[in-house]
């Protein structure tokens, strides 16, 4: 309850234009918003721009904040929209035309080699981490938004649904597809690695 | 096992892995996995995938970026 009361007091101060409250809000939320933007866009400078745009927009429209979600979730919602708009500016045709198909693409498993029991050090290499980062960046955008909010930022299903303006069921479905999509993509790399070990 | 059963259970695997599936569904999936090597491989590697991305290091907002942010928002006086 203390958190909710603290947040209400913070929002009241933000509405009153209290600069200390603005600084507090930025300190609390900028790191998470930056991580979200970086995972969505894959570019540090652009992620920084998203963080700036998010807070400029939030402070300007704080009077319109209606407590349908927490302040943090509201900020994530603004940030996600800003990031998605930037993505759409980059690839307008692919987003509008291919969206329905891309959500379901590559979620039916075709890679069926069981690479889960490779030696642990194979999963801890820089190469393996780079592969995983690249896979996350390559996730179809609608799956990526859910995945980053839910799995990397740790929002609940309900908070993720509020941040994206979709149903909780939709969050669950997209998250499941994102996991299958990542599994399929990683399978290519780890299967090849396993075969290399066998040959060696 | 019939292929359509693999497809049917595929959509339930996240719930199964997270322990959110009903007892009846868990029993159905366990029974299927016992006889379907392909689905067992999908479950094993799906679990591993989840474990791997949960251990990824989180990128940090650099101090220089934080300072730029505070300046842009006219909050420079709050920089420590």
Which chain B positions have a beta carbon within 8 Å of A59's beta carbon?
73
CB contact B1 to A (< 8 Å): no
Q: Which CATH number fits domain A1-90: 1.10.1740.10, 3.10.450.50, 3.40.50.2000, 3.40.50.300?
A: 1.10.1740.10
Return the pLDDT at A95: 46
How far the first Cα of chain B sits from its last, in Å, is 63
Which chain A positions have a beta carbon within 8 Å of B57's beta carbon?
129
Cβ of A35 within 8 Å of Cβ of B53? The answer is no
Which two tokens mark A146? 């859910």
Return the pLDDT at A101: 46
* CA-wise closest residue to A145 among A67, A40, A8: A40
Cβ of B70 within 8 Å of Cβ of A23? The answer is yes
Q: CA–CA separation, B47 vs B16, rounded Å?
A: 10
Residues 6+ apart with CB under 8 A from A194: A113, A115, A118
Q: What is the pLDDT of residues A64-97, one digit of tens each?
A: 999 999 999 999 999 999 999 999 888 765 543 3
Can you tell me the mean pLDDT for A130-139? Answer: 95
Domains and CATH numbers, chain B: 3-75 (1.10.10)
Mean pLDDT of chain A: 91
Instruction: pLDDT tens for chain B, 80 residues: list them.
Output: 456 688 889 999 999 999 999 999 999 999 999 999 999 999 999 999 999 999 999 999 999 999 999 999 999 999 97
Give residue A155's pLDDT band: very low, low, confident or very high (50, 70, 90). very high
Q: Where are the domains of chain A?
A: 1-90, 92-200
Q: CA–CA separation, A103 vs A99, rounded Å?
A: 6
User: What is residue A155's DSSP assignment?
Assistant: -
Q: CA–CA separation, A119 vs B76, rounded Å?
A: 49
Give residue A198's pLDDT band: very low, low, confident or very high (50, 70, 90). confident
> Min CA distance, A112 vs chain B (Å)?
6
Mean pLDDT of chain B: 93
| A92-200: CATH number | 1.10.10.10
């Amino acid at each position: 309850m203390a958190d909710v009361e603290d947040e209400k007091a913070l929002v009241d101060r933000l509405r009153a234009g209290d600069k200390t409250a603005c600084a507090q809000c930025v300190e609390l939320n900028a790191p998470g918003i930056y991580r979200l933007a970086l995972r969505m866009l894959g570019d540090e400078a652009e992620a920084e721009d998203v963080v700036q745009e998010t807070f400029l927009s939030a402070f300007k429209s704080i009077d319109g904040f209606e407590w349908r979600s927490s302040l943090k979730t509201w900020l994530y919602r603004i940030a996600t929209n800003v990031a998605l708009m930037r993505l759409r500016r980059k690839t307008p045709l692919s987003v509008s035309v291919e969206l329905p198909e891309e959500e379901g693409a590559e979620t039916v498993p075709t890679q069926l080699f069981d690479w889960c029991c490779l030696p642990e050090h194979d999963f801890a290499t820089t190469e393996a981490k780079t592969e995983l980062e690249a896979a996350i960046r390559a996730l179809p955008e609608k799956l990526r938004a859910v995945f980053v909010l839910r799995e990397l930022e740790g929002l609940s299903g309900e908070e993720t649904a509020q941040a994206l303006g979709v149903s909780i069921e939709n969050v669950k479905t997209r998250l499941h597809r994102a996991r299958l999509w990542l599994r399929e993509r990683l399978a290519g790399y780890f299967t090849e690695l396993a075969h290399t070990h066998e040959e060696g | 096992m019939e292929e359509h059963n693999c497809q049917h259970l595929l959509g339930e695997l996240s719930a199964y892995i997270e322990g959110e599936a009903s007892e009846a569904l868990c029993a159905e999936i366990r029974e299927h996995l016992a006889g379907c090597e392909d689905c067992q491989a999908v479950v094993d590697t799906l679990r591993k995938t989840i474990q791997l991305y949960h251990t990824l290091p989180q990128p940090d907002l650099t101090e220089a970026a934080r300072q730029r942010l505070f300046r842009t928002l006219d909050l420079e006086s709050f920089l420590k």
